Structure 1
Amino acid sequence: MYKLIAIDIDDTLINDDKEVTPATQQALEEAITAGVVVTLATGRAYSSAQAVARQTGLNVPIITYQGAYVKNLLDEEVLYERYLPLEAASRLFEYCLEHDLHLQTYIDDKLYSREENQKLIDYTSLNNTEYFIEPDFAKLVAQPTPKMLIIDEPDYLDEIAPVLRELLGPEVHITKSKPNFLEFMHHEGTKGHALKFIAQHFGCDLKNTIAIGDSWNDHEMLEAAGLGVAMGNAIPALKQIADYVTLSNNEDGVKRVIDKFIFNRES
């Protein structure tokens, strides 16, 4: 019996209109009523993720910043946090300066950039995130952050990712949440690490957990969970490692998983 479900937000829980459909909302409520712990696991900042979680009626810890930050919705206690090593953050900043790359950081759950540009505007319009401009970016880089992010063309990010892995070392986890977002966290700041933490927090064996996602930043939690589910709209690489492929985010794919694996019914 599955007792815990961790669900990615963008392109998984919400459809292309950025909404949780009434059918999926009802399925979540049914699962919670049946005693299943339902949580979110997202690359978003806590401030952005908690708005979705509260809308959906969740009252448990949620996984944010790709797994680097787990915070309780009820009393807002931080249960798990892993910050990007400061030396690595400094190296990443210097690299981005040298190569004229757009870099963002998050301090105290606020998004900062060195300058306002179209990349920043497009990024923040995706989930209505407020942003702050700090020209003296070096002083921000010297502060603990759960995540830094480069925005650029997908092919170019694929080209520089191995270079940055070498530059930043094994203490840093690098992943993509979308083709043009390259994200940097502590090596224990993955959704897989956070799922293991949440399962332990609730006294739940990992084999009794389900993880649902669509992108490569979800692969660690799909591999850690008892049942790893890829959305119908997921990238091919995630579908290959998934135990099950559900319907897309526009076809209530999350509802299908709850119906099939929690309630043993076909939706």
Structure 2
Amino acid sequence: MYHMLVTDIDGTLLDSEGKVPEETKKILAILREKRGFITTIATGRMLARAESIAREIMINAPLICYNGALIIDIYTRHRILERPIPAGKLMELIKLLKEWGYEVIIYENETIKVERFNERTRWYINECESIECNVVNDMIDYVKQKDLSSYKVFAVGDVSKAVKVPAELLSKLEEDFEVSLADQSHMEVNLKGVSKGSAVKFLADAFKIDSTEVITIGDGYNDVSMLKYAGLGIAMGNAAEHIKGYAKYITLTNCENGLLNIVNKFIIPQEKISLEDLR
């Protein structure tokens, strides 16, 4: 029997318009209120971009942000777990990424820092909607002077076409960091050992829930670790084929009520919910 459900946001919880469908909110409410489910979100997003969605679906467990580098109780503001990249490692990482021609994005107090405004950084800033962005002339010096740590680093590659991250660079990075590809050309980089999977395990252990009782749902590279951890790791129908290979089940797409399909198939197969029931 399943007792915990953890979902990604982009491409999973949100539809093509970037909204949480009303049906999804109602399904999650049924799971919490009638089935006693623990429900939460695991996302690569920063807290400032994830909290409103977490509140909208009324999560009842701590929120996992920055791919697991931050676990926070959004209702009490208690930061339960923090695993940022420390200043020394952060400077090494920035130097390496710049040598390979990447634009580097770091995070400070829920703002983003870039070295310049150009096509690539503006693409990321637009993705972050209304988040404050500041330009720092020399990012390595900035980190050094402030002894700054960052929950993760976003490395922006080519935004005009999908260009694979070089295997040699990936190999170097993976010696000290966790790397998740984003749209092939870009990377999310966290401290070694930090992942959505390790964060979901941390929460499951805290609630004394076995991995076999956990359902995780996602569609991206940074979801792989939690798909592998969970007793039931589910990939969205819109996920890349590579991601689907790690899942135990493939549901419908994020625009086809994939969550309803999961609930009816695995949680309440004897009393299926229809879309009409939710309207």
- TM value normalised by structure 2: 0.88
Deviation at 1:85, TM superposition (A): 4.3
Distance 1:164 1:217, change over 3 A: same
CA distance in 2, matches of 1:59, 1:241: 27
Q: Deviations over 1:79-115 (max 9, x none)?
A: 1121224333212222333344211001222211111
1:7 aligns with 2:7: yes
Maintained 8 Å contact 2:219/2:239: yes
Could you tell me which of 221, 225, 249 is aligned with 2:230? 225
Q: Tell me the equivalent position of 2:151.
A: 146
Residues 188-203 of structure 1 mapped to structure 2, 5 A cutoff? 188-203=193-208
Structure with max Cα Rg? 2
**Structure 1 residue runs without a partner (length 5+):** none
Q: Tell me the equivalent position of 1:137.
A: 139
Q: Secondary structure at the match of 1:80?
A: strand
Higher mean C-alpha displacement, 21-30 vs 108-117? 108-117
Maintained 8 Å contact 1:260/1:266: no
Distance 1:170 1:129, change over 3 A: farther
CA distance in 2, matches of 1:162, 1:67: 25
Q: Secondary structure at the match of 2:12?
A: helix
Q: Tell me the equivalent position of 2:45.
A: 44
Q: Secondary structure at the match of 1:19?
A: coil
Maintained 8 Å contact 1:60/1:74: no
Q: Tell me the equivalent position of 1:163.
A: 169
Q: How many positions carry a matched residue from both structures?
A: 265
Distance 1:25 1:66, change over 3 A: same
Higher-helix-fraction structure: 1
Maintained 8 Å contact 2:162/2:183: no
Deviation at 1:266, TM superposition (A): 6.5
CA distance in 1, matches of 2:114, 2:60: 31
**Structure 2 residue runs without a partner (length 5+):** 275-279
Identity percentage of aligned residues: 29
Q: Secondary structure at the match of 1:228?
A: strand
Deviation at 1:129, TM superposition (A): 4.2
1:187 aligns with 2:192: yes
Maintained 8 Å contact 1:106/1:147: yes
